[in-house]
């Protein structure tokens, strides 16, 4: 009933009477009043005026399905949102749900992760209510070798969403990070379940440091948050919805060619590495050079000191 009342308050342009709500839901006005009080305790600001009814003034930045759905303009991505107060890792949870049949575009989100996963077995610090810890389940009809580009698609979506909502100068650090002022603000972890020539599902995990006030000393030099950079508290809901909306557009473009052809110009425009002297550390090699571009297949092209172009498919790049 709580969810329905939130929906009715959200939908009403102005006041909605207790009677209208109670008729709509087939419950007593006292029951409606109790839920309204409960919502107020949760942080919803609800005005009540005699003979007019209730009006929603503002909602808290709670990440539940109703709050996120209300302003989400997508067709597939986020059609189903599964939210948790606390979970080990949204990627872990998303993989479980995908194995149980969760559909394309399902979003798994949590207020807190107790065992957030970073790349290469690292932890991802995910304190309660201050960040966006979410995973998108995808079931693309693509060859498994093309799935890693989905990280770049998601990175571009996050970068654009942060720019649009916060006006901060966010950039992509190829291949997995979004940075602001040279520090990491978002990390992406893409995992896949596939056969040799068939993708069962892909889980794109997105972690964005939104309203984190400070980082432990060991992370302070490398990590930052939107709040630290923008000096204000941001509504996570707005960033989530914008990210999902932009992601849907780019994902569709990616599926058309099964690569980044349609979005590579925008990607390169957002990529902080382009034109910079970098060091690359990958499994097969360590090298230095100037970054030329990211290709439509998602590889980083580096011109080495001998003037030769080298194609990098994975690794850590300095900025
Ligand atoms: C990295 O930069 O190392 C990747 C970090 C990915 C973190 C996100 S938070 C949501 C999702 N669930 C996880 O456990 N990890 C990803």
Look at residue 78 in the predicted model and tell me its pLDDT: 98
Structure tokens at 80: 């189903």
Look at residue 3 in the predicted model and tell me its pLDDT: 84
Look at residue 285 in the predicted model and tell me its pLDDT: 79
User: Could you give the CA distance from residue 261 to residue 254 in angstroms, rounded to a whole number?
Assistant: 7
298: left (phi over 0), alpha (psi -120 to 50) or beta: left
Look at residue 2 in the predicted model and tell me its pLDDT: 87
Distance 207 CA to ligand 1 centre (A): 5
Distance 168 CA to ligand 1 centre (A): 22
Structure tokens at 90: 């949204």
Specify the domain boundaries for CATH 3.30.930.10 within the chain. Answer: 65-269
Instruction: Tell me which residue has its CA closest to atom 10 in ligand 1.
Output: 133
CATH topology assigned to domain 2-58:
Arc Repressor Mutant, subunit A (1.10.10)
* 201, 137 Cβ separation under 8 angstroms: yes
What residues are in contact with ligand 1 under a 6 Å CB criterion? 89-91, 113, 116-119, 122, 124, 126, 133-135, 176-177, 187-189, 205-207
Specify the domain boundaries for CATH 2.30.30.100 within the chain. Answer: 274-317
Q: Which portions of the chain are predicted below pLDDT 50?
A: none
Structure tokens at 147: 């799935």
- Least Cα distance to 171 among 39, 73, 294, 308 occurs for 294
* 240, 81 Cβ separation under 8 angstroms: no
What residues are designated binding site? Answer: 89-91, 113, 184
The CA-atom distances, in angstroms, between 153 and each of 13, 49, 134, 248, 283 are 36, 48, 16, 10, 23
Give burial (CB, 10 Å; 0-12/13-18/19+) of 251.
buried
In tens, the pLDDT along 281-319 reads: 987 778 999 999 999 999 999 999 999 999 999 888 988
The CA-atom distances, in angstroms, between 298 and each of 154, 168, 206, 312 are 12, 25, 18, 9
Specify the domain boundaries for CATH 1.10.10.10 within the chain. Answer: 2-58
User: Could you give the CA distance from residue 305 to residue 302 in angstroms, rounded to a whole number?
Assistant: 10
* ipTM value: 0.99
Distance 122 CA to ligand 1 centre (A): 9
Question: HEC states along 156-190?
Answer: HHHHHHHHHHHCCCCEEECCCEEEECCEEEEEEEE
The sign of the dihedral angle between the CA atoms of 162, 164, 170, 171 is positive
92: left (phi over 0), alpha (psi -120 to 50) or beta: alpha
User: Could you give the CA distance from residue 164 to residue 162 in angstroms, rounded to a whole number?
Assistant: 5
Residues, the chain, total? Answer: 319
Instruction: Tell me which residue has its CA closest to atom 15 in ligand 1.
Output: 117
What residues are designated binding site for biotin? Answer: 89-91, 113, 184
Distance 155 CA to ligand 1 centre (A): 12
Q: What is the CATH number of domain 65-269?
A: 3.30.930.10
User: Could you give the CA distance from residue 239 to residue 162 in angstroms, rounded to a whole number?
Assistant: 7
Q: For 52-100, give the DSSP string.
A: TEEEEEE------HHHHHHT---SSTTSSEEEEEEES-HHHHHHHHHHT
Pocket test for ligand 1, best of 63, 86, 91 (most atoms within 8 A of CB): 91
Look at residue 69 in the predicted model and tell me its pLDDT: 87
Domain 274-317 has CATH 2.30.30.100: yes
Give burial (CB, 10 Å; 0-12/13-18/19+) of 69.
middle
What is the position in ligand 1's atom list of the atom closest to the CA of 118?
3
Look at residue 242 in the predicted model and tell me its pLDDT: 98
Structure tokens at 285: 């090699």
């Amino acid at each position: 009933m709580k969810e329905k009342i939130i929906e009715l308050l959200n939908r009403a342009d102005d006041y909605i009477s207790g009677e209208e709500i109670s008729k709509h839901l087939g419950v007593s006005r006292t029951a409606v009043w109790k839920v309204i009080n409960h919502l107020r305790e949760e942080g919803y600001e609800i005005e009540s005026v005699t003979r007019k009814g209730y009006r929603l003034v503002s909602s808290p930045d709670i990440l539940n399905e109703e709050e996120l759905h209300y302003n989400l303009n997508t067709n597939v991505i986020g059609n189903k949102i599964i939210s948790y107060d606390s979970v080990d890792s949204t990627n872990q949870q998303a993989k479980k749900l995908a194995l149980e049949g969760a559909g394309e575009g399902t979003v798994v989100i949590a207020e807190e992760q107790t065992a957030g996963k970073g790349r290469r077995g690292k932890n991802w610090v995910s304190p309660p209510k201050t960040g966006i810890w979410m995973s998108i389940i995808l079931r693309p009809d693509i060859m498994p070798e093309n799935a890693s580009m989905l990280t770049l698609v998601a990175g571009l979506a996050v970068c654009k969403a942060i720019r649009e909502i916060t006006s901060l100068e966010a950039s992509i650090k190829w291949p997995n990070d979004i940075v602001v002022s040279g520090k990491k603000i978002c990390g992406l972890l893409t995992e896949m379940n596939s056969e040799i020539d068939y993708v069962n599902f892909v889980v794109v995990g997105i972690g964005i440091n939104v309203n984190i006030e400070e980082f432990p000393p060991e992370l302070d030099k490398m990590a930052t948050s939107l709040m630290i950079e923008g000096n204000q508290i941001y509504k996570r809901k707005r960033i989530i919805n914008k990210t999902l909306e932009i992601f849907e557009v780019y994902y569709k473009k990616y599926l058309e060619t099964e690569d980044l052809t349609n979005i590579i110009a925008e990607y390169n425009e957002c990529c902080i590495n382009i034109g910079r002297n970098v060091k690359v550390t990958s499994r097969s090699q360590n090298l230095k050079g100037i970054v030329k571009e990211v290709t439509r297949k998602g590889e980083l092209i580096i011109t080495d000191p001998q003037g030769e172009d080298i194609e990098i498919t994975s690794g850590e790049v300095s900025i």
